[in-house]
Structure 1
């Protein structure tokens, strides 16, 4: 009789929700404190995210009879990262569109000022291309996409390390 593995979905949904809510809380705290970033919030957020991944992968291990392969740990971690990243990306798009639209406008103005100070003689097609790039990189969609990709990349690294630590093949 073959041993069936438990589903990763409920763990990915639950712990991914925690991860997404943590990111939302960080953005809200930064907004309330009226600051762009702070190292203490970054450190706390990173440590809490690592803990979420640890508890999620460990929960899968317990559901699987205390057996965990690196592959299953990675799948669980990537599920958590995907759900958390999607929640974070959607909220970031809402946050920078409705709550604080002036943030991205300010970033766009900073980028234009930096570009013009570094290359004051830029004109024509190169100026037009540079302005299009600035428009793209200061859009809500770009920010949300980068949040999702960052979540997946960070999730992969953390899940790989945690899976290697918790690995237990019969």
Structure 2
């Protein structure tokens, strides 16, 4: 019987661990963006995308370190999906708490900023802007539904990213080991 110095880590434990870590990082980053009114900035949103990719890569690396350096493609997909779901849960709860208790005017301010951007662009009539604003309000869920959509959306997005990331980070065990 071979004695190894690394203990096996499951895909679930790796996903939960890095979901919690990256979820907290994302919450701190989102809180800073909300306080500085920079959440609508597309460049700042891109940083959140980079944080998610980095979290998936780190979760894969952690899993491989504790499993003899190996991780299958399917395990990589599972880790990323669990990581994304945990990040979505934490982010959804944070957004709900922020919008409900910390800054109840946040949603209204965000809608006003969006209207100002539409008006500044000058390529839409007032009627079209009003329609766009109504559609945005209709499809911006709040409360428990917002949390559920954050969980499902982030898990799905992490899964999609992981289709590529897992192909790069996987390392299959030799068949005849």
TM-score range, shorter chain: 0.7 to 0.9
- Deviations along 1:105-148, one digit per CA (max 9) or x if unpaired, are 4567879xx9x82499xxxxxxxxxx8x9456353444433322
Question: Which stretch shifts more, 23-32 or 47-56?
Answer: 23-32
> How does the TM-score come out when normalised to structure 2?
0.72
1:166 aligns with 2:169: yes
The answer to whether the 8 Å contact 1:69/1:167 transfers is yes
1:117 to 127, 138, 150: 127
**Higher share in helix:** 1
TM-score of the superposed pair, with normalisation by structure 1: 0.74
Match of 1:42 in 2: 45
Q: Distance in 2 between matches of 1:34 and 1:88?
A: 17
Q: Does 1:104 align with 2:107?
A: yes
Which residue number corresponds to residue 4 of structure 2? none
Given candidates 41, 49, 54, the residue that maps to 1:51 is 54
Q: RMSD of aligned C-alpha atoms?
A: 3.2
Distance 1:148 1:79 in 2: 10
Unaligned runs of 5+ in 1: 121-130
Task: Give the number of equivalent residue pairs.
Answer: 157
Alignment check: 8 A CA contact 1:89 1:144 kept: yes
Identify if the C-alpha distance between structure 1 residues 44 and 118 changes in structure 2 by more than 3 Å, giving closer, same or farther: closer
